[in-house]
């Protein structure tokens, strides 16, 4: 019984410590950002590895998610004789929810886990330590560029995802199922607001980018420097990012569209 309480208390204390460390770490990163911005080449190199290398998965998933939405939406709408609204359904679900959320989840799996593993490995092979001993701040040289690159890349990926999704829905609806081309777009344009839907979706993606970037670099930096520790940190990145993104999505949705 007492051991149970002890265990519980230990766990709570541990999580609180980690939460505190994570936020202090974030402050350190934010403080380092001005210095990082002076080295745009480092950021560009990281955008390549987190953004460009995630393009394929985003392009493929975006298109297919849009196509599936098109099919499913059509079968539902056809019962109400409202198939022209298919564009609205596809565009709104993608812009408001699926685009930012699915992109963030895929990003956590593709780029976030890789970032965590990379930083964890740099820590375990003493690369970060040796950098510090060379009077180079690893937060500025290693963490900052990776953080900024992820933060920057995710919204772009989300936009690509949403756009290709709408296109996928269009191809299914108009080319395959024979919805009128003009009606598809005019209904969509009438119902989708740039400020309420496109920009709010973009804001979501920016928030998710921030959180995903933060979790990925923190888990890497905080990893126990053993191979087991790194693999656990990688898992934690994916799990924590997914949970954080879904939770934040609910809050943001309630604030924006409530």
Partner 1 sequence: MVEIRGLHFTRGQRKIFDGVDIDIRRGEVTAIMGPSGTGKTTLLRLIGGQLRPDAGTIKVDGIDVHRLRRKELYQLRRRMGMLFQSGALFTDLNVFENVAFPLREHTDLPESLIRHLVLMKLEAVGLRGARELAPTELSGGMARRVALARAIALDPSMIMYDEPFTGQDPISMGVLVKLIRLLNDALGLTSILVSHDVQESAEIADRIYVLSGGQVIESGTPEELWQSDSPWVQQFLQGEADGPVPFHFPGGSYRDDLLTGKQRGGRR
Partner 2 sequence: MQTSRVVEIWVGIFVALGLAALLGLAVQVSNLTEFRQGPTYELTASFRNIGNLKPRAPVTVGGVRIGRVASIELNPETWRADVVLEIDARFQGLPAETDARIMTAGLLGEQYIGLTPGAPGFGYLEDGDEIEYTQPALVLEDLIGTFMVRQIEGE
The count of other CB atoms within 10 Å of the CB of residue 125 is: 11
DSSP 33-45: HHHHHT-HHHHHH
Contacts with partner 1, 82-121, as mask; x by CB under 8 A: ---------------------------------------x
Among 77, 105, 122, 164, binds partner 1 (CB under 8 A): 122
Distance, in Å, from the CA atom of 161 to the CA atom of 16, rounded to the nearest integer, reads 36
CB-wise, 65 or 230, nearer to partner 2? 65
Smallest separation, CB 119 to partner 2 (Å): 20
CB of 248 to partner 1, least distance (A): 32
List alpha helices for 96-178, DSSP H. Answer: 99-107, 113-124, 127-133, 138, 144-170
Place of tokens 């936020």: 23
Q: Which two structure tokens, joined as six digits, stand for 216? A: 């990925």
Q: Which of 3, 134, 254, 258 binds partner 1 (CB under 8 A)?
A: 134
Q: Are 111 and 150 in contact (CB under 8 A)?
A: yes
> Which residue in 152, 214, 243 sits closest to 21, CA to CA?
214
Q: Is 157 in the site for partner 1 (CB under 8 A)?
A: no
Q: Which is nearer to partner 1, 123 or 204 (CB)?
A: 123
Site residues for partner 2 per CB under 8 A: 41, 44-45, 47-48, 51-52, 55, 80-82, 85, 87, 91, 95, 153, 155-157, 159-160, 162-164, 166, 185-186, 188-194, 197-198, 202
């Amino acid at each position: 019984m007492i051991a149970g309480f002890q265990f519980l208390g230990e766990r709570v204390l541990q999580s609180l410590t980690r939460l505190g460390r994570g936020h202090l770490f974030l402050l350190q990163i934010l403080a380092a950002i001005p210095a990082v911005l002076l080295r745009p080449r480092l950021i560009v190199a990281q955008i390549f590895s987190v953004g460009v290398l995630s393009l394929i998965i985003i392009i493929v998933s975006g298109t297919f998610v849009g196509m599936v939405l098109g099919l499913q939406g059509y079968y539902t709408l056809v019962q109400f004789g409202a198939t022209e609204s298919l564009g609205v359904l596809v565009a709104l679900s993608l812009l408001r929810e699926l685009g930012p959320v699915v992109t963030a989840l895929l990003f956590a799996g593709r780029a976030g886990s890789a970032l965590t593993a990379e930083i964890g490995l740099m820590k375990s092979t003493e690369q970060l330590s040796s950098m510090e001993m060379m009077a180079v701040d690893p937060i500025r040289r290693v963490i900052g560029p990776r953080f900024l690159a992820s933060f920057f890349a995710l919204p772009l990926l989300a936009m690509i995802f949403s756009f290709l999704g709408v296109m996928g829905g269009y191809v299914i609806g108009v080319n395959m199922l024979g919805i009128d081309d003009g009606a598809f777009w005019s209904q969509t344009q009438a119902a989708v607001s740039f400020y309420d839907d496109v920009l709010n979706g973009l804001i979501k993606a920016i928030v998710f980018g921030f959180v995903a970037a933060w979790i990925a670099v923190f888990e890497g930096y905080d990893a126990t420097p053993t191979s087991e520790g790194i693999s656990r940190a990688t898992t934690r990145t994916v799990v924590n990012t997914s949970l954080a993104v879904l939770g934040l999505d609910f809050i943001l949705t309630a604030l924006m569209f409530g």
